[in-house]
Chain A
Amino acid sequence: MTALLAQGTSYDVEAVRADFPVLTRVIGGRPLVYLDNASSSHKPRQVLDAERAFVEQHYSNVHRGVHTLSQEATDAYEAARTTVASFLGAADPHEVVFTKNATEAYNLVAYSFGNARAGSRFALGPGDEVCVTEMEHHSNLVPWQMLCERTGATLRWIPLTDEGRLDLSELETLVNERTKVLAFVHVSNILGTANPVETLVARAREVGAFVLVDGAQSAPHQVVDVQALGADFFVATGHKMLAPSGIGVLWGRRELLDAMPPFLGGGSMIEVVQMGGSTYAPAPERFEAGTPVISQAVALAAACDYLREVGLDRITAHEQVLTARLLEGLRDLDGVSVIGPDSLHSRGSAVSFAVEGVHPHDVGQSLDELGIAVRVGHHCAAPVCRRYGVPATTRASSYLYNTEGEIDALLEGIRTVQRFWS
């Protein structure tokens, strides 16, 4: 693969595809067309091999032993942290906390704030506010709702325009001096919208609010530089970026992570434990209670290496070609409407659409009979469906291994679905 993808050559999608064993699957008598990447991505051999090699030859628990394997496993785990930190542009590997998934990362921040003593800069109470957006994934919405319920703080949200973008006309009211946290999605999993991070971070800074950016749908597809984004926290998840499920990433400014109260208590996160109480380790250990996600971290580092080898910029460009083809094709279909931005401007590769007169479940099931995997449902963003008056959507989301031919197969599949259900 490496040679074929040397800088300056065109993007060789077939060389990439050859690294993904699952892409040889045949479903319903046809080659698998996997367009459910916003839900979860597939894994290349390089990632699978790295995880297997680690587990077969170097595995042990980490940070606990003096024996050789323990040291090797610890080294591999911490090297993975360094790789992920570098992938995200973090200044310091200590700013990377491994979690079980992205959901745990949002909860980690929300519960940590909720555990803060009154008077602490992290503490919230009645009169304080948390601001999110109407396009959040439930995982970056419900933990904040719960935090507000526990503390008496008020949840506010930035509404959406008809086009599927944030309506920033009331931003100065919604993010104000009472706002303690502004949490928003970088790229929407359901609409595909890429949000204006700079504008949002600037407003949060004006009022002294902490900023959390949900990067679950951005980190797999584009160059992310957490320092350039200017946020306080950034969340990513392994399984959407070629790594296994079971690992999420929280990046946070070191100064904040070292000062925040812990979330989960247990082994590894402590300094001194006495029966009457304990003191806590600095970050990242403070937030990694118990045996961490060891082999998944090693695999995630291999996935980061793979993505960088192919080139995030090249992946972004490739996906833009596919997304343009899909948007154009959907525009040409009668009875099909896109829910979300209809142009390439500030959007990712996830495209939600409605097929008039056919429920998304039936669209998805019928496409499956043609070997085409899409996601149907509310995509864990039910308020978005409600905002646009649909019970659910059908969503196609491409990634580095998808082809223009697969986009055409999807478009032809939608025509077949329309004929069947007419």
Chain B
Amino acid sequence: MTTNTSPESLYQEIILDHYRHPHHKGLRDPYDVEVHHVNPTCGDEVTVRVKVAEGPDGATVQDVSYDGQGCSISQASTSVMTDLVIGKPVDRALETSEAFLTLMQSRGQVEPDEDVLEDGIAFAGVSRYPARVKCALLGWMAWKDATAQAVGGTAPQDRTASRTTGGAA
């Protein structure tokens, strides 16, 4: 198990690198929207902040910061996500998000485009493990939610409340 880094295997070096040395981690100001998403089946949590600003190509993802706890897949995937969306026009960032979602839902049947997904292609193997796909999507879905709110101007409190599960009993 320890030396298996073939393209099909789950724990690619790129994933392990992002897990051990995450990019853009730690919550930062300024931000427009903060969301908190959880994976109720495993308890993984992520808080994502998004700052959107007008750029030359329209609304642009100026910054994404996050904090969270979870497995290597969820943490590394969130790290890769920040690399892929920060600085991009929102439209293009959403396209990248869709490409990642498509890859995750492919059950290993889609050849990822490295030009679009960069380090994200390392997650191709995750799509063969349906139980782990939600881990890989946690940060992406949180970012997408926060960005939609930032662009659409939806009250963040309402949206995040409906997405947040758990609570002390």
Contacts and interface: CB of A to CB of B under 8 A. Distances in A.
B162 interface: no
Interface stretch (A71-79, A299-307, A374-382): A374-382
B119 interface: no
Given A378-B42, A382-B43, A385-B43, A420 B2 contact: yes
Given A365-B11, A376-B42, A378-B42, 12 more contacts: A141-B169, A361-B70, A361-B73, A361-B132, A362-B72, A365-B132, A377-B41, A382-B166, A383-B168, A385-B43, A391-B42, A392-B42
B2 A416 contact: yes
Contacts of B43: 377-378, 382, 385, 391-392
The 10 closest A-B pairs by CB, nearest first: A361-B71, A359-B71, A369-B1, A391-B43, A420-B2, A377-B42, A392-B43, A378-B43, A362-B72, A362-B71
B109 interface: no
A326 B169 CA distance: 32
B44 interface: yes
B10 A365 contact: yes
A383 B168 CA distance: 7
Given A361-B71, A392-B42, A419 B2 contact: yes
Interface residues of B, number: 21
A382 B168 CA distance: 9
Given A383-B169, A391-B44, A392-B43, A365 B129 contact: yes
Nearest to B4: A369
Contact of A416 (B1, B44, B45): B1
B135 interface: yes
Contacts of A378: 42-43
Nearest to B73: A361
A74 to B, nearest CB: 40
Contact of A359 (B4, B11, B72): B72
B69 interface: yes
Interface in B153-169: 166, 168-169
Interface string B143-156: 00000000000000
Contacts of A377: 41-43
Interface in A75-133: none
Contacts of B69: 391
Interface in B100-141: 129, 132, 135
- Residue from A376, A383, A385, A391 having most chain B Cβ neighbours under 10 A: A391
Interface in A338-392: 359-362, 365-366, 369-370, 376-378, 382-383, 385-386, 391-392
Nearest to A369: B1
A145 interface: yes
Contact of B169 (A145, A370, A385, A392): A145
A350 to B, nearest CB: 18
Contacts of A386: 168
Contacts of B70: 359, 361, 391
A370 B2 CA distance: 10
Interface residues of A, number: 25
A157 B168 CA distance: 12
Nearest to B3: A420
A352 to B, nearest CB: 13
A16 B126 CA distance: 37
Contacts of B44: 361, 391
A360 B41 CA distance: 13
Interface in B19-56: 41-45
Contact of A366 (B1, B41, B166): B1
Interface in A371-422: 376-378, 382-383, 385-386, 391-392, 416, 419-420
Contacts of B72: 359, 361-362
Interface string B63-75: 0000001111100
A60 to B, nearest CB: 38
A383 B41 CA distance: 14
A155 B166 CA distance: 17
Contacts of B73: 361-362
Contacts of B11: 362, 365-366, 420
Contacts of B129: 365
A361 B135 contact: yes
- Residue from B11, B42, B44, B129 having most chain A Cβ neighbours under 10 A: B42
A353 to B, nearest CB: 16
A376 B43 CA distance: 10
Nearest to A387: B168
Contacts of A385: 43
Nearest to A144: B169
A392 B132 CA distance: 15
